[in-house]
Structure 1
Amino acid sequence: MKKKWWQKAVVYQVYPRSFQDSDNDGIGDLAGVLRRLPYIKKLGVDVIWLNPIYKSPDKDNGYDISDYRDIQPKFGNMQIFDKLLNEAHRLGLKVVMDLVVNHTSDQHKWFKESRKSVSNPYRDFYIWRDGNDGKAPNNWGSYFGGSTWKYDEATKQYYLHLFAEGQPDLNWENPEVREQVWELMRFWLDKGIDGFRMDVINFISKPAGLPDAPNPENAEYADVEPMVADGVKVNEYLKEMNDKVLSKYDVMSVGEMPSSKTEDAVQYTGLDAGELNMVFQFDHVTLAFNDDPRLGKWNDKPVKLVDLKKALSRWQKALDGKGWNSLYWNNHDRARAVSRFGNDSPEFRVKSAKMLATTLHMMQGTPYIYQGEELGMTNAHFTDLKQYQDIESLESYYQIVDKEKLVNHATMMRYLATESRDNARTPMQWDNSQNAGFTDGKPWLELNKNYREINAAQELQDKDSVFYFYKRLIDLRHNSDLIVYGNYVELDPEDDEVFAYKRQYDGKTLLVISNFTSKEIEREYDSKIVKKLLISNYDDDLGTKLRPYESKVYLY
């Protein structure tokens, strides 16, 4: 394997809107990120991934882009971005940006032209179709509720939007669209950014003829994902992207790939595939989907450890020596890790946050830390629908509770408290002052009430904090080829209390043991072998005895 810089790197994800506000309008901005660069550097990471900062009407918090070459005014301007990029580079930090090119905003100049007439030169930049006997062209259901089709009165046709109505899908069959994407990528890469995270990039190849989706539940709208994920031309498009753009720069590329399987990822990230460096797969974060497919992600069931181990182990083994993994517990679209996979009670939050960190960071792949994860930030546990702002959450509430009456209000509020994207988007908790040091204005989204107990200032003063534990894990990875490149051996896959595995490389072995319960239990692994304790979330080692949420790593 030819070793690449991004294999040893650790990435810190910044959601700018919620990171740091510099002008007290209640919205985080680029000047705020610039101010906090020393904090990110102190953590020890190598790369900052910025969620979208482009000009946008904000129908979906920046994932509806109206100008790919301009900065969202709420976040600042290009001068501030250039300053941020230069300062990050001065500190030895790389910057990766979001690339959102499955769709644009309906306010983008391409779409404004496209909807003017059926003969407009930009018409074929998007996917327009006639209706079907007065109804939408097919039965596809949008991710945000309702149909994926929006009727446009001006030209008497429908346009496709897999997400919000304000996010029309681009037509990647059109070579002019692809060339425009390559140009905007070059624009940012020539500025000096260090790569892209690509939003739902495996959705860009739609099936020929756009047929109806299977609908076994006979729902009003069918699940669209099986129809659009990993389409027949995705590899062709990504090879073209790599050939014309990515291969010309020493940068990092990661594709968000809902529904992708390991065999797909080997094609996308294969060491000689000429496509992407790594993918975000969803297997381990979608394990607790509701038994009723009409409810999808909305549930409050705990994740079963056996299922979690199978999902993560499958990816570790399948990509070893063939491709490259991304390692993550949470992001701007996922609930807080310690609330979803650990235990966010005051008694066990710190221990379980460290346990989750150890379990993930000792695997093969590039780890991603989502802002606040390194503090053990938790779900917000909102109790009033008015506290939510996420378009997916609100549209889903309307569809599930008001329209289809699948569950009642109280049940859906429990589901939102467990799974809503707003759980990850509450402002960063910097200190215990008003608004947690995020802003002196009114925060765009309500803060988590526990910020006085959980915040960066407090953790930076405590050498035993979650922050410093993450820092130790990052330092270990930077100094160990075994952690970066070692193969993966799962242990006791049917054990529903302990996640244990080995890593092996160059004659050395790592043994990772994590107790996922609040109980004290006994486990024995290689007890007769002399081992060095590399890291643990407890101060001492009781051998075969595992205390609540204990996690330890041995080297031998």
Structure 2
Amino acid sequence: MKITDTSDLWWKTSVVYCLDVETYLDSNGDGIGDLTGLGSRIDYLADLGVTCLWLMPFYPTADRDDGYDVTDFYGVDPRLGTHGDLVEIVRTARDHGMRVIVDLVVNHTSDKHPWFVAARRSKTSPFRDFYVWRDEPPENNVNAVFPGEESTLWELDEKTGQYYLHSFYSHQPDLNIANPTVRDEIAKTIGFWLQMGISGFRVDAVPFLIEVPEGKEFADPHQYLRDLRQFLRRRSREAVLLGEVNLPYREQTAYFGSGKGEELTLQFDFNGMQAMYLSLARSDPRPLAKALRARPAIATEAQWANFVRNHDELTLDKLTDKERDEVFEAFAPDERQRVFGRGITRRLPPMLGGDPRRVRMVYSLLFSLPGTPVLFYGEEIGMGENPDVAGRLAVRTPMQWSDARNGGFSTAAPSRLAAPLPEGGYSPAHVNASAQLNDEESLLHFIRRLAARYRISPEIGWGEVEILEHDAPSVLAHSVSADVGRMIALHNFADEPARVTLSLAEEPDGTQLSNLFGPDRFELDDRGRVECELPAYGWAWMRVARPGDGRIG
């Protein structure tokens, strides 16, 4: 792939870091994280190598779905701060080379949102058509998003005697995307936050956002995504739409659009993530290699976002029932560690038994895969979940800054914290940022080194992937190439050492492989082959150093 003008494509080589302001750092001792607390940690994030902050919802909320039940799309939750505090975050982040993107949660509102409060007053309310209503629910009235928590998709509003649609929780009525006034309101919301200095949006549940309700007319839902992207580009050439689209690849590509950056800018690679966990469960890289080969080609103006963990359950819905059971058995053997019949409510280190070799191999893999790496707060220090917290909230515990009371998150009484901290081996006494900052061999410093190497290896963000054939069944060998060069990564999924012989006969005479994390250089033999050894769960990044290319490393 040829790299051309990169001025507006900053996200091609960005390191994204997702955090919830409410659980990051409390500055005033009320037990709730806030924007002022976040502001005091911008230096920490910059040193980590973060170039894009993704803020989970900070809007006013009824707080029945951890902030995703929004009551005011233009507001800032007063518990977290003010618009002025947010602007200060954006400015300070810019000063440190970071952009800020925010969650765009507009497929539904809270039932406490003024629009819905007005809509349910009467059938003639001007806000009635902001939502989707029926006299009787359809026969297919099963909630597949939250099985076990929500049984239906349609909820009776007793005052007006009609049912309203809620694809998620019953207290989150769906907005009617077929209503042009609703679409205009969403555009105004986007425009407002862009004017505040925001550089883009993580778009929540995109397929649900553009799904046209039965009985409503809207000729081309994807045209709406194209319209949003065009609006975004008019307001800010650098702004992005990072979409949550958990669909098979063949369906997912439609959300990029058919042309150059017509719809979503980036999409999370859910298929690759799930295949990775299957490979980890089997100690066999073939499922992940198969997924990477199946990744569709996309335009230069689009990108895959790679992740190990996000803020929801670790969904495994794209695996077969048998494959999902394999992953469950390996990483969530207790039924309490599973949710909705499809997901795991654990963080990576506990799933891998705390094995630092295996944990580091996974993060090396994350940063070496073609695309943009996305971290969830606390991953950089190896935080665990709190098994005493139900469901997906188990992984949304306060950031562990030190071994002090409440992990340095807050001076409030533990009973007043936004969420309870884990106990045992993953408590702040054992896992915290302060201790790891002072330990050059810690996971935190390891993630720093990965981020730094990723940032000066543009072929990873811009390049095209090739799975390399070799003779070591436990090793994934992949190559990423762009006009600036080529790198090769090796990852051993087994608990035994592996010897890998690579054939690079297509490279010119005099080519070497240069270790990107050490001084070693490997010569190709007269048949263009090179032999590498990896320890158990070992990994390696190597630059293909052609004669006279002058690349770093």
Distance 1:540 1:23 in 2: 52
Matching residue of 1:225: none
Shift of 1:320: 6.5
Is 1:274 the counterpart of 2:248 in the alignment?
no
Question: What does the per-residue CA deviation read over 1:328-366, in whole Å, with 9 as the maximum and x for residues that have no partner?
Answer: 1111114599955996434x22x2222112212122212
User: CA separation of 1:79/1:507 partners in 2, compared to 1, >3 Å: closer, same or farther?
Assistant: closer
Q: Is the 8 A contact 2:273 2:307 kept in 1?
A: no
Distance in 2, matches of 1:173 and 1:188, equals 23
Q: Is the 8 A contact 2:100 2:198 kept in 1?
A: yes
Distance 1:509 1:166 in 2: 50
1:329 maps onto 2:308 in alignment? yes
Indicate which of 533, 536, 556 corresponds to 2:515. 533
Query: Take 2:273 and 2:219, find their aligned partners in 1: how far apart are those partners?
Result: 25
2:221 to 206, 226, 234: 234
Query: Is it true that 1:521 corresponds to 2:493 in the alignment?
Result: no
Q: Contact between 1:306 and 1:494, CA under 8 Å: does it hold in 2? A: no
Q: Look up the match of 1:247.
A: 234
Q: Which residue of the partner structure matches residue 545 of structure 1?
A: 533
- In structure 2, the residue matched to 1:120 is 125
SS in 1 for 2:25: coil
Q: Which runs of 5+ in 2 are unaligned?
A: 315-343, 506-510, 523-529, 545-553
Are residues 337 and 130 of structure 1, via their aligned partners in 2, closer, same or farther at CA, if it must alter by over 3 Å? closer
Aligned-pair CA distance for 1:161: 0.8
The 5 A counterparts of 1:21-32 are: 21-32=26-37
CA–CA distance in structure 2, aligned partners of residues 75 and 490 of structure 1: 46
Alpha-carbon distance between aligned partners in 1 of 2:366 and 2:299, rounded to the nearest angstrom: 16
Paired AA for residue 141 in structure 1: N
Deviation larger for 256-265 or 69-78:
256-265
Query: What's the TM-score, normalizing by structure 1?
Result: 0.80
Q: CA deviation at 1:158?
A: 0.7
- Match among 172, 190, 194 for residue 189 of structure 1: 194
Which residue does the alignment assign to 1:414? none
Name 1:448's counterpart in structure 2. Answer: 422
Q: Does 1:146 align with 2:151?
A: yes
In the TM superposition, 1:190-205 aligns within 5 A as 190-205=195-210
Residue 483 of structure 2, aligned match among 506, 511, 517: 506
Residue 259, structure 1, aligned to residue 247, structure 2: yes
TM alignment of 1:285-300, pairs within 5 A: 285-286=273-274
Match of 1:111 in 2: 116
Do structure 1's residue 19 and structure 2's residue 17 form an aligned pair? no
Q: Deviations over 1:422-476 (max 9, x none)?
A: 3421211111112211112223322122222221111111122222222222222
**Shift of residue 189, structure 1, vs aligned partner:** 0.5
Q: 2:242–2:264: 8 Å Cα contact kept in structure 1? A: yes
Partner of 1:483: helix, strand, or coil?
helix
SS at match of 1:555: strand
Partners of 1:287 and 1:551 lie apart in 2 by: 19
Q: Do the aligned partners of 2:259 and 2:299 also contact (CA within 8 Å) in 1?
A: no
- CA-atom RMSD, angstroms? 3.1
Report the AA paired with residue 367 of structure 2: H
- Return the offset for 1:272: 1.5
Shift in CA distance, 281/517, structure 1 to aligned 2, threshold 3 Å: same
1:499 & 1:289 partners in 2: Cα distance? 14
Decide whether the 8 Å contact of 1:148 with 1:162 is kept in 2.
yes
C-alpha distance in structure 1 between counterparts of 2:183 and 2:297, whole Å: 31
Closer/same/farther in 2, CA of residues 79 and 491 from structure 1, 3 Å limit: same
Secondary structure of the residue that 1:476 maps to in structure 2?
helix
Relative distance call for 1:517 and 1:304 in structure 2 (3 A) is: closer
Post-superposition offset of 1:185: 0.9
| C-alpha deviation, 1:282, in angstroms | 2.0
Separation of aligned partners in 2, 1:345 and 1:332: 21
Shift of 1:99: 0.4
Partners in 1 of 2:521 and 2:63 — Cα distance?
50
In 2, distance between residues paired with 1:137 and 1:154?
23
Secondary structure at 1:253 match in 2 = strand
- For 1:171 and 1:374, how far apart are their aligned partners in 2? 40
Alignment counterpart, residue 94 of structure 1, candidates 80, 92, 99? 99
Aligned to 1:283: 271
Is the 8 Å Cα contact of residues 342 and 516 (structure 1) preserved in structure 2?
Answer: no
Distance 2:411 2:220 in 1: 49
1:208 positional shift: 5.6
What displacement does 1:164 show?
A: 0.9
CA contact (8 A) 1:239 1:275 kept: yes
Cα offset, 1:113, TM superposition:
0.9
Partner in structure 1 of residue 288 of structure 2: 308
Alpha-carbon distance change, 272 to 247 in structure 1, aligned in 2, over 3 angstroms: farther
What's the offset of the Cα at 1:525? Answer: 2.1
The percentage of aligned residue pairs carrying the same residue is 30
8 A Cα contact 1:20 1:29, kept in partner: yes
Whether the 8 Å contact between 1:11 and 1:49 is mirrored in structure 2 is: yes
Q: 1:329·1:337 contact (CA, 8 Å) conserved in 2?
A: no
State the partner residue of 2:547: none
Determine whether 1:370 maps to 2:372. Answer: no
Cα contact 1:66–1:107 (8 A) shared by 2: yes
TM-score normalized by the length of structure 2: 0.80
Whether the 8 Å CA contact 2:34–2:80 is kept in 1: the answer is: yes
Q: Is the 8 A contact 1:338 1:344 kept in 2?
A: no
The residue aligned with 1:222 is none
Aligned partners of 2:202 and 2:241 also within 8 Å: yes
For each residue in 1:285-308, what CA deviation from the matched residue of structure 2 results, as whole angstroms up to 9, or x when unmatched? 445999xxxxxxxxx977964323
- Per mean C-alpha deviation after superposition, the further-off stretch among 72-81 and 105-114 is 72-81
Whole-angstrom distance in 1 between the partners of 2:202 and 2:411: 31
What amino acid is aligned across from residue 430 of structure 1 in structure 2? W
Instruction: Give the Cα–Cα distance (whole angstroms) in 2 for the partners of residues 36 and 524 of structure 1.
Output: 45
- Secondary structure class of the residue paired with 2:69: coil
2:331 aligns with none
The whole-number CA distance in structure 1 between the counterparts of 2:113 and 2:309 is 30
Counterpart contact for 2:176–2:213, Cα < 8 Å: no
Aligned counterparts of 1:343 and 1:495: Cα–Cα separation in 2 = 25
Deviation at 1:200, TM superposition (A): 0.7
d(CA) in 2 for partners of 1:329, 1:342: 13
Cα 1:286–1:477 shift into 2, 3 Å: closer
CA shift for structure 1 position 257: 0.9
Shift in CA distance, 482/273, structure 1 to aligned 2, threshold 3 Å: closer
